[in-house]
């Protein structure tokens, strides 16, 4: 059964760029399976996949010869910018410098972890705030397709 990550929490990176993973994430994965993959996202953040989630993504993206420029770029972004990380005895993972730079993260600074179902996003608080400031028209349209448009969003007579 696939793990589903949810919730938001703020944590600090230490001076070496290490992040202590919270129990709400690690407690869902057997300690013998504590192997994660960090990679760049399409957004200016990092994605952290557990092993089954990573294997699924890698099979979908890298399963064939990337024949188009877009497919090659996806392979570069997700597979070429990935790093296997295993929590140490104090539940810390080191975020590689190249990935920290991509996501705008800095040692000794806070980060926000967002559970997004199959992955955990790792954000700089500033960048996350900028992304969440205003819902785009694409988000509005997608949301409308995901909920039943025949159901009123407010009680009748409100």
* Tens digit of each residue's pLDDT (9 = 90 or more) over 42-80: 999 999 999 999 999 899 887 777 778 888 888 888 898
Alpha helices in 4-158 (DSSP H): 23-26, 51-62, 69-74, 97-103, 125-132, 137-146
- Model confidence at 136, pLDDT cuts 50, 70, 90, reads confident
Rounded CA-CA distance 53/86 in Å is: 15
Residue 15: exposed, middle, or buried by beta-carbon count in 10 A (0-12, 13-18, 19+)? exposed
Rounded CA-CA distance 93/105 in Å is: 14
Q: Which residue, among 139, 31, 41, has the nearest Cα to 82 in the 3D structure?
A: 41
CATH class of the domain comprising 8-146: alpha beta
Question: If residue 94 lies in a helix (H) or strand (E), which one and from where to where?
Answer: strand 92-94
* Tens digit of each residue's pLDDT (9 = 90 or more) over 22-45: 988 988 887 888 899 999 999 999
Q: pTM (2 decimals)?
A: 0.84
- Angstrom distances, CA of residue 120 to CA of 3, 40, 44, 47: 11, 12, 14, 6
Neighbours of 106 (CB within 10 A): 13
Q: Domain spans of the chain?
A: 8-146
The answer to whether 40 and 102 have CB atoms below 8 angstroms apart is yes
């Amino acid at each position: 059964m696939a793990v589903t990550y949810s919730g938001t929490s703020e944590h600090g990176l230490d001076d070496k760029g290490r992040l202590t993973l919270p129990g709400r994430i690690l407690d869902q994965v057997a300690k013998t399976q504590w192997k994660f993959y960090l990679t760049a996202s399409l957004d200016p953040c990092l994605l952290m996949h557990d092993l089954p989630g990573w294997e699924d993504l890698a099979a979908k993206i890298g399963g064939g010869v990337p024949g188009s420029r877009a497919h090659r770029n996806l392979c570069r972004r997700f597979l070429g910018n990935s790093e296997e990380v295993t929590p140490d005895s104090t539940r810390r993972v080191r975020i590689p410098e190249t990935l920290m730079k991509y996501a705008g993260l800095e040692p000794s600074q806070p980060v926000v972890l967002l559970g997004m179902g199959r992955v955990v996003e790792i954000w700089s608080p500033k960048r996350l705030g900028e992304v969440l400031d205003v819902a785009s028209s694409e988000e509005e349209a997608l949301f409308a397709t995901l909920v039943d448009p025949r159901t009123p969003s407010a009680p009748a007579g409100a």
